[in-house]
Amino acid sequence: MNILQRDKQIEVISALCEGVSIRATERLTGIHRDTIMRLGARVGAGCAALHDKTMRHLQVPRIELDKAWSFVGKKQRQLKPGDGMDKGDQYIFIALAGSAKAIISYRVGKRDTFNTRAFVTDLRQRVLGAPEISADAFQAYPAAIDLAFDLECEIGQIEKHYKVEPAKEAARRYSPGQVVSVSRHQVVGLPTQISTSYVERQNLTLRMQQRRFTRLTNGFSKKLENHAAAVGLYVAHYNFCRVHEALRITPAMHLGVMDHIWTIGELVDAALVSALPQNAPTPPLRRAPITVIKGGRE
């Protein structure tokens, strides 16, 4: 059990939500990095439980799907036979509401058929009606969506074609190649807008707000459990606490699942309550005054 004072817990989680690394948070707060990692893992797991019970019965007309690459322990090419599935490349599957900009569903795992189907099945359990879905050209998407939604949706896929470059230059490049053309395909029905621009922009926010996802650093996750907890913390903070620049409110408020902008203190309290065993006594939540933010950047 973490015995940090509440203001220290808020200070640590605030730093982690703003892209500060574990060791930098240690230097800023004076709290040992092991304590910071334990608190982050616990709050992150609670945020995942909070998201699971909150983001349900949503009326979302349009959804965008995408994946963000990451790795745990070592990159895929460095894996050894005994490393197991917890190491190497781990993708963050994300379903984003087109108008509300909210993360409806997410999953951390390998880029394979099993995780794709589990991700889309979870998405189906959270949304109502027959939404319009846009996705990239990943081949596992159409069958997974068909299985989960039973054709109660419209599906479009966008495929980007990149400039062919010599192998030597491609190996030294750390960003996607130059896009030379884009093709759109109507897979099911007649989707009116086939685009993944919003969710791709959200992936940039993920890399900026969580240090574990910043490329070319040594701040990558060493354990899959902590990696998943960091994603859970990011999603809850993004949906409940972070005022979107275009919306001027949080995505959760735009969806109608929340009525005010959450503070970090409220997020920590709710996450720690959600992380408790079901038979454990529930401590009272502290409700901060409602704050209205006008203007400012996202």
Asked whether residue 245 is assigned to any structural domain, the reply reads: yes
Number of domains in the chain: 1
- CATH classification of the domain holding 136: 3.30.420.10
Asked whether residue 284 is assigned to any structural domain, the reply reads: no
Tally of helices (H runs) and strands (E runs) in the chain: 10, 6
The structure's pTM equals 0.87
Tens-place pLDDT, residues 188-207? 888 889 999 999 999 999 99
Question: Can you give the pLDDT at residue 278?
Answer: 58
Q: Which domain holds residue 199?
A: 6-275
Q: Which of 133, 139, 135, 84 is nearest to 111 (CA)?
A: 139
Question: Can you give the pLDDT at residue 294?
Answer: 42
Asked whether residue 291 is assigned to any structural domain, the reply reads: no
Q: In Å, how far are 68, 77, 84, 215 from 90, measured between CA atoms?
A: 9, 13, 12, 14
Asked whether residue 46 is assigned to any structural domain, the reply reads: yes
Asked whether residue 292 is assigned to any structural domain, the reply reads: no
Tens-place pLDDT, residues 104-145? 999 999 999 999 999 999 999 999 999 999 999 999 999 999
Question: Can you give the pLDDT at residue 291?
Answer: 40
Asked whether residue 109 is assigned to any structural domain, the reply reads: yes
Q: Which of 66, 74, 228 is nearest to 138 (CA)?
A: 66
Question: Can you give the pLDDT at residue 2?
Answer: 52
Average pLDDT over residues 257-261: 94
Asked whether residue 282 is assigned to any structural domain, the reply reads: no
Average pLDDT over residues 5-25: 94
Q: Using DSSP bridges, classify how beta strands 88-97 and 154-162 pair: parallel, antiparallel or unpaired.
A: unpaired
Asked whether residue 283 is assigned to any structural domain, the reply reads: no
